[in-house]
């Protein structure tokens, strides 16, 4: 048992001797070759440019629309799109990411709520 402890102690001492620590070299000397006047000129030039990091800084002012569309036309198109039978169909949900032909047309066979009758199972009236 003692020989095992001695062996382990020897291994620990050998491993500890292999560890090398960094040496402290003190404060590093400045190696700046630039003149203060050049730095001031660069600072003035940088201060004159717009801030690229501000919110929407690179976007600038949005250009005016060249051909504005009439409000009534836009509203009509929005109503048509909202009432389209296939407006909420996602092509990704279908084979090859394309809508089947029966969903591409404007008239889809749907049953409206006011056309529905209160019939139970197998068409029997309740």
Taking alpha carbons only, the member of 78, 106, 104 closest to residue 91 is: 104
- Contact status, residue 94 vs residue 86, Cβ threshold 8 Å: no
Residue 59 vs residue 80, higher pLDDT: 80
Per-residue pLDDT, 57:
52
Which sequence spans correspond to the domains of the chain?
A: 74-99
Other CB atoms within 10 Å distance of the CB of residue 85: 13
Q: What is the pLDDT of residues 47-76, one digit of tens each?
A: 888 776 776 655 666 667 777 788 999 999
Cα-trace Rg, the chain: 39
Q: What is the pLDDT of residues 8-31, one digit of tens each?
A: 787 777 666 566 678 888 887 777
- Contact status, residue 123 vs residue 105, Cβ threshold 8 Å: no
Per-residue pLDDT, 126:
46
In sequence order, the β-bridge partners of residue 119 are 125
Residue 85 vs residue 70, higher pLDDT: 70
């Amino acid at each position: 048992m003692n020989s095992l402890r001695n062996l382990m102690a020897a291994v620990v001492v050998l491993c500890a001797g292999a560890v090398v620590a960094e040496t402290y070299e003190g404060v590093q000397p400045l190696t700046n070759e630039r003149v203060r006047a050049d730095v001031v000129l660069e600072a003035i030039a940088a201060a004159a440019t717009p801030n690229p990091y501000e919110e929407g800084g690179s976007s600038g002012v949005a250009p005016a629309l060249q051909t504005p569309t009439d409000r009534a036309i836009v509203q009509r198109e929005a109503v048509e799109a909202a009432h389209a039978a296939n407006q909420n169909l996602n092509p990704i949900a279908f084979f090859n990411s394309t809508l089947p032909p029966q969903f591409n047309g404007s008239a889809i066979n749907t049953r409206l709520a006011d056309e529905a009758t209160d019939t139970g199972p197998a068409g029997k009236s309740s």
